[in-house]
Chains A and B, each alone.
Chain A
């Protein structure tokens, strides 16, 4: 059975790639994911904002209240040097490369154009096989137009592409007015893969404390419908590889993504919830299903149910919506 796939030029033994999550924080866990069958691993994100914030915070508190009182001209010992900036992350990438054979994909969340380019180059130099740009951006300013946001994505991608030679994937939000057009623009700008989609963690309210609380909910299965649809639509229309992320929990989900035209199916919630061993189980289930249904390779099914390959292309469009509504029967 041939489960192999190609993702932005990287030859992978199967389409299961654990996406950026705390699971990649320790070398041992990444090794365990490799052993369980993961084809590649996206490492947790390096946040430029966090680096800048931590640097500022350290500087502030180390000098806070210094030179204010005769008895205490400062309050902390001053080490000769600090491991500031991305060093910890970069060391981690280098250590992962030493520990595992599967491709390691670095993930980056920048804020400044200089930061994106510089840190991407750092990640490449640390030995990463590819980079995923995690553009987690919520436009709240009513004066920023859609095209400005689109250009920001394109410019960021270009800046990174100019500085690195390894493949670059870009993780997108689903909230573009014209997703297909956006995908095409990114494709032209040199994206080696589109990762669909970023899950924006939605804050919750605590009604007792009257506070907004950050709340991490793991994905549920229905969420994979959104990438499924868009991969099916984009398949064949762009050169870039396609990766699905969000809501992939079992072998059927992976197979669906493949049939829609995805090159890899990324997982995090399922592994966080039910353990790394799930990779092995899903791979086995995939093989079983493919045997039962007489598929001998992933290649054979890839894109087989994409928009251009199905009988009813409208199923991915408005017609799908109308049909569903009309068939819905209230149970009260």
Chain B
């Protein structure tokens, strides 16, 4: 039958079925499943109906725990319900999963399977998460390709409704969820035929209903719980046949047949691999190759239905000739006898072969192995290694494949040169930047090829771990045969490099085949390009005899009004050179796609894209290159030779994209990595960098406090040092009264700067002769790079200002403190990191940081290199990320441990008073440690104590030495975003606030879940558009500050650095000095606002002036003096709210999508802002004088 083809990714394939077969959808964002919820929400918002003709309701919850609770309620309420999740999210659903399964209620959870956070978090794909729900009673169905995701999603829903068993339908995160494939579409009509409404009606009949009341969810006692648990057995026994029947019915309708276990390979295979998920595709491709080309008797079992596990069906699928089986698990269970799928297969065989009814003549050898954790590549070479292992008399068991384990020697060796990609398919790789639209263009190209030609098509996209200057690599395959290669391209026919600078960062031509085609976007003229290429690249082009094309896409973009977006231009080049479609037809298709993509955004956008297409071909040139290498340009080393050994040998490999080659022995066993490594990764991503004009500068240090990446710094130092300064190093005389005669320098780390321009925007000093010239101005980076590198190195060597002598409660003073958070991977112009950096400056040398998962844990802790740094004394923030939901509790735990260990140290010291000297002991025990001087003095005393203790031969002395560091005060910081603080972690946050313990909570409030792509949180403002609030959020932001104030003993501050940096600095210091819980809610502008990030601080100012963002400090200490604890640091709404909000796309776009609603929400928001001002001004005006009378003297 003729099928309609569609080109979509795995998430869309799952979501479109789940949506059509559900009535209630409860969601919560988590990578890589977020897309499924987002699509469902968008469909629901646009009124798309399910197969029963009604629009499903889609609700975002506060956590995955919440989502699963809502699903439990919904299925009990009689609805068909679904949710989407992954990883930790699925773990949070486990309690409800037992309930849903225990009550035999149909439901399907679609899971893009992902690693779990263990020694580290990873967002990538494996089965660690789904393996943790085996025991819940949920069925488990595995899909291995985009086609299967769509088909098995439908089969799973049908099976669940009919069997009454809830199911998890899973597929590999990223590899399948984000892979774009051309598939046969399952139509609504087909879905209607598939679902038998009789079972739906029965499900509704079982719902809670006061017209037919009953009680469910009882508590049971030892007498019946056990028997009750066994009542469900018959449903589980019946389920496999129900699922197979559903598969058969599906085949009847669509012609696509699935089985619980699908066998592929030689009918008389001796060696068989058993596997689930996308790896099965690669095994299938390899089996085909080995059978056809090497006459090997091999086969594979693709496990579809993993739970309930049906041994009967497994044996029926396996060829009787099988002698050896390798069971591959994409998960790790430390300490187990083997991984779960392996154990299941072994158990199945063991039971069957010990029974009277043996399915096989002889027990095959069965071994288990691990592969592909966290989306580790799984290639035909690895599959072959697994089959080769099975050939051995004693095959290695409990092996790993794909890595080099030189510690416990688990790994199988594999031949990297065993490459079997389909020769008839065209394979293309594209190197680009996130900002240049390369991935978007390739997604578009795949759609054109998939939907406009008879080719099969596949697209997969690799992103880097940084949020600024991030690179992307797109892998596109297409051809006449179905594509089963679920791994990156190994031999490319076509390679395009959309950014000249990436030629230095990557081995772009490593994978290109001999005679392949290379397209380069070059800023140089055609005749100059060759000479600008590095030696190695020239050599590759010549040796591989490449067809070499160049275009100056930025020039074309500029001429056609496209700005810096070169996507359409490079896409046109690709079609023009690759010849997949006749040129004119290709151009027409691109234009059709442009019309489709941009039509709704206005005619002018369409027209300029059309112009770019038309202009491109005239600028595309083929290069006739010499046959000998002429270049003298060598590729720079990945990191400086001065870097520490671990950075040079391990992290540099990751930076260079060779992390796969790092052996197990080189990695730490417990996830502990050295601090201060970001400084070795010189990314040189800024086209322009700030340049300091010492004659104009007023030394306010505002540029320093604003810099999100600590790439612009100030120092005051003895003039003496300037004598040895490099030639172009700048300084001027320091202005501060105490610093008379000293030198002052603002230095830029040009190789670490992202070019965001925040520093230029905040600079208040202007040249009196030409006002556009400030004390900081932008200039091209490349001409400055060498000299400024030298200058920055010299600057770092200059002594730091003595902390004890600084006025740290000022902007200028605090910004002479060394930042211990530098060069993070945050977005250019990030609004969060200036606050994080401030914490590191003020308290970094004694800070212990608990960081919630989110943007701050990614830019703060994503390998290869990390930004938390150390000072010259070797001190710096100790940082860890536990989870998303538990950060406040994690931080409190750190506090409890510190308090306990400190108390123990004090007790030991008290016992040892006579041995160490009473005076010293007393001084240590009574030290206030509030100011920098007091802390410094305490450190000196503790050092002295250490010396004494080391000479003492007493067990208490030795014991004290193990906890002696606790005698110096520590500052506990609990940092995270609004998704954590307002939503998923709120319960814990509230509890920690109520604990009375001395912790400092910093909420980086971007008013959406930024890290996962801008989903609404309870911090999202009234009228703002966000994902899951496409029609603008109708209710105001939660007033977290006011809730915290309600305790009375919590220090609360709401700050906006861009509006008042001094208030920010003071709030941080007050919060830290307050001996109790403190919370600072910090306005953090974000790319998810849709704004010019260089104007971030200006936006903050407008937010405060409009009353949108109230600023204040609530200090409970004031109560003890009879003063009102609340001090307002803003003056109420001074400008209309629209003058602020309509400068940001998150608000403005509503006027374009829902104009009438936008007007109403703006009016509501304006009223709300006034109301909030009234409440706060009322609170701040209250008289607290009578409180003093009630406070006991000792409390004062």
Contacts and interface: CB of A to CB of B under 8 A. Distances in A.
Contacts of A211: 771
B604 A70 contact: no
B602 A85 contact: yes
A75 B1015 CA distance: 8
Interface string B1135-1173: 000000000011011011101000000000000000000
Contact of A59 (B439, B601, B1011, B1030): B601
A82 B601 contact: yes
B732 interface: no
B506 interface: no
B602 A55 contact: yes
A68 B1088 CA distance: 13
Interface in A37-78: 51-52, 54-78
Contacts, number: 142
A294 interface: no
A81 interface: yes
Nearest to B1030: A77
Contacts of B440: 63, 66-67
A210 interface: yes
Contact of B467 (A52, A57, A69, A76): A69
B1088 A75 contact: yes
Interface string B1024-1041: 011111100000000000
B42 A78 contact: yes
A77 to B, nearest CB: 4
A66 B34 CA distance: 15
A85 B602 CA distance: 7
B435 interface: yes
B46 interface: yes
A71 B1027 CA distance: 14
A88 interface: yes
Given A67-B439, A76-B1090, A77-B1030, A85 B1149 contact: no
B602 A84 contact: yes
B322 to A, nearest CB: 39
Contact of B602 (A59, A66, A73): A59
Contacts of A65: 434-435, 827, 1087
A263 B802 CA distance: 78
A55 B1148 CA distance: 11
Given A59-B602, A61-B1091, A76-B1146, A210 B771 contact: yes
Contacts of A71: 31-32, 34, 123, 858, 1011-1013
Contact of B1155 (A69, A78, A88): A88
A73 to B, nearest CB: 7
A76 to B, nearest CB: 6
Given A67-B439, A69-B463, A76 B1145 contact: yes
A80 interface: yes
Given A58-B601, A79-B1153, A210-B771, A74 B1013 contact: yes
A85 B603 contact: yes
A83 interface: yes
Interface residues of A, number: 37
B139 to A, nearest CB: 29
Contacts of B1010: 72, 75
A62 B1026 contact: no
A120 to B, nearest CB: 16
B365 interface: no
A8 B192 CA distance: 64
Contact of A55 (B174, B443, B604, B827): B604
B1030 A79 contact: yes
Contacts of A52: 602, 604
Given A71-B1011, A77-B1027, A61 B435 contact: no
Contacts of A67: 434, 437-440, 443, 461, 463, 472
Contacts of A59: 598, 601-602, 605
Nearest to B38: A77
Contacts of B1145: 57-58, 61-62, 76
B810 to A, nearest CB: 22
A75 B1006 CA distance: 12
Contacts of A68: 433-435, 463, 467, 470, 472
Contacts of A62: 601, 1090, 1145, 1149
Contacts of A63: 437, 440, 565
Question: Which of B46, B563, B1088: most chain A CB closer than 10 A?
Answer: B1088
B123 A77 contact: no
A55 B605 CA distance: 7
Question: Which of B434, B437, B1153: most chain A CB closer than 10 A?
Answer: B1153
Interface in B602-631: 602-605
Contacts of B1027: 76-77
Contact of B1014 (A54, A75, A88): A75
A47 to B, nearest CB: 14
Contacts of B461: 67
Contacts of A69: 434, 463, 467, 470
Nearest to B47: A80
Contacts of B174: 70
B238 to A, nearest CB: 40
B65 interface: no
Interface in A185-225: 210-211
B1192 interface: no
Interface in B883-909: none
Question: Which of B598, B1027, B1152: most chain A CB closer than 10 A?
Answer: B1152
B46 A77 contact: no
Interface string B23-55: 000000001101100100110011000000000
A73 B605 contact: no
A113 to B, nearest CB: 15
Nearest to A115: B604
Nearest to A79: B1153
A77 B42 contact: yes
B123 A70 contact: yes
A83 B1146 CA distance: 16
Interface in B438-486: 438-440, 443, 461, 463, 467, 470, 472
Contacts of B463: 67-70
A16 to B, nearest CB: 29
A78 B1013 CA distance: 13
A84 B31 CA distance: 33
Contacts of A76: 1014, 1025-1027, 1088, 1090, 1145-1146, 1149
B416 interface: no
Contacts of A60: 563
Interface in B658-673: none
A56 B472 CA distance: 25
Contacts of A78: 42
B1153 A73 contact: no
A78 to B, nearest CB: 7
B1011 A72 contact: yes
B1059 to A, nearest CB: 16
B216 interface: no
Nearest to A66: B440
16 contacts: A51-B602, A55-B601, A57-B1145, A57-B1148, A58-B1148, A60-B563, A62-B1145, A64-B1087, A65-B434, A68-B467, A71-B1011, A76-B1145, A77-B1026, A84-B602, A84-B1152, A88-B1155
Given A65-B827, A77-B1027, 20 more contacts: A52-B602, A58-B1148, A61-B1090, A62-B1149, A65-B434, A67-B434, A67-B438, A67-B440, A68-B463, A70-B123, A72-B1013, A73-B439, A75-B1013, A75-B1090, A76-B1149, A77-B1026, A79-B600, A82-B1149, A83-B1151, A85-B603
What are the nearest 4 A-B pairs in CB distance? A68-B434, A72-B1013, A55-B602, A61-B1090
Interface of A: 51-52, 54-85, 88, 210-211
